[in-house]
Amino acid sequence: DPALEVASIPVSPVNGVGGQIRVGELVNIYRLKREQEIIEGERLFEEMGDAIQVAPVLVVAVLSDQGLPASTNPDQIMPMQILVVAAPPEGIDAILEAVAMSELGNELLWVTLATPSQ
């Protein structure tokens, strides 16, 4: 759809349904904020805040870290590292902000399979 903008996001198999995402599927992108409890300079524990849904998006490509199509074929293991998604232009800002926050280490980026009704 020419009305959609396409962007790539880094996603490890652990954060992306075990790498079982396929082209053409609808996925949800979530931001999970890490919260730490610190008393007198000592970190007591780390917990996750509420998940914030960034966007449901269409998967355009699932790529390895080399930009080639990801594969779990035993002869050619190339796990998913990059997810290419299409979203309306107003949704891309939220997606890129979620990626930036996950790169800063303050939040986690998580991808789930969306229900078809979304």
Per residue in 80-107, pLDDT (tens digit) is 999 999 999 888 999 999 999 888 877 8
- Taking all residues of the chain, what is their mean pLDDT, rounded to a whole number? 84
Residue 43: pLDDT over 60: no
Listed ranges 24-28, 42-46, 113-117; the one with the highest mean pLDDT:
24-28
Residue 45: band (very low, low, confident or very high) from pLDDT cuts 50, 70, 90: low
> What is the torsion angle, in degrees rounded to the nearest 10, for the CA atoms of residue 92, residue 94, residue 100 and residue 102?
-120
Residue 118: band (very low, low, confident or very high) from pLDDT cuts 50, 70, 90: very low
Residue pair 22/59 in contact by the 8 Å Cβ criterion? yes
Q: What is the pLDDT of residue 48?
A: 58
- Percent of the chain topping pLDDT 90: 42
Q: How far apart are CA 84 and CA 96, in angstroms?
A: 12
